[in-house]
Amino acid sequence: MQDAKSTRITFLLFPGITQLDFTAPAQALSRMPGAELAGAAASLDPIATDSGFSILPTHDFASCPPADILCIPGGHGVADALGDDATIDFITQQAAGAQWVTSVCTGAFLLGRAGLLDGKRATTHWGYTHLLPLVGAEPTKARVVEDGKIVTCGGVTSGLDFALTLVARLKGDTVAQAIQLAIEYNPAPPFTSGHPDRAPAEVTLGLRTHVYDAAAARMAAALGATT
């Protein structure tokens, strides 16, 4: 698995990020031959995640070199980030020269805010897919969606699927399979409730009522306020 050519993979970091949106694909992509990972934020201050701990950026926006792969994670902090001009400008500038532009979960809305999903097929977390037309995207029911150089994926754990898909595109299936084996990504969950298509209806209704109806309304308001 040797490769002399380096690939810079830059993750956007922002307050309120869902840490697994970032750390899951970062873990897989870091094992790709030639990978060089960066985490870029508005400053080098610690970034508070949704899990009660913080992460440290490697770069601020001004010092971050051009990305070959740009990845935008999601999280409840996306609604605030949508209104931050410096964040959107960073996405726009980095995306212009990137080979691949990607998102995990609600990170898709930051791509959309930067004008990168116009007319593109895309996906996001199931609780927000109905909002994708607000950023010009065509909602597509799949865990990973590729449209040109844009790759979007569903919620949280979908980041691993996206990462392995991208490794396969860049380095071939054998390398992607080796990484999957190395991290023992062999899902066998105790319940088949990972998507509304399979979860009990009362579980889906409860989660929508207690979390995602309000969260989606907040996202919609943020999109309306910034478009």
CATH of the domain at 160: 3.40.50.880
Enumerate the active-site residues: 105
Average pLDDT of every residue of the chain: 96
pLDDT in tens, 182-206: 999 999 999 999 999 999 999 999 9
User: Is 2 within the bounds of a domain?
Assistant: no
Share of the chain above pLDDT 70, in %: 97
Predicted confidence band of residue 5 (pLDDT cuts 50, 70, 90):
confident
Pairing of strands 144-147, 150-153: antiparallel
User: Is 1 within the bounds of a domain?
Assistant: no
Number of structural domains in the chain: 1
Burial class (CB in 10 A: 0-12, 13-18, 19+), 14: buried
What's the domain range around 160?
A: 7-226
Q: How many CB atoms lie within 10 A of CB 54?
A: 13
pTM for the full model?
Answer: 0.95
Question: Phi then psi for 214, rounded to 5 degrees?
Answer: -70, -40
Predicted confidence band of residue 2 (pLDDT cuts 50, 70, 90):
very low
Query: Is the pLDDT score of 102 beyond 60?
Result: yes
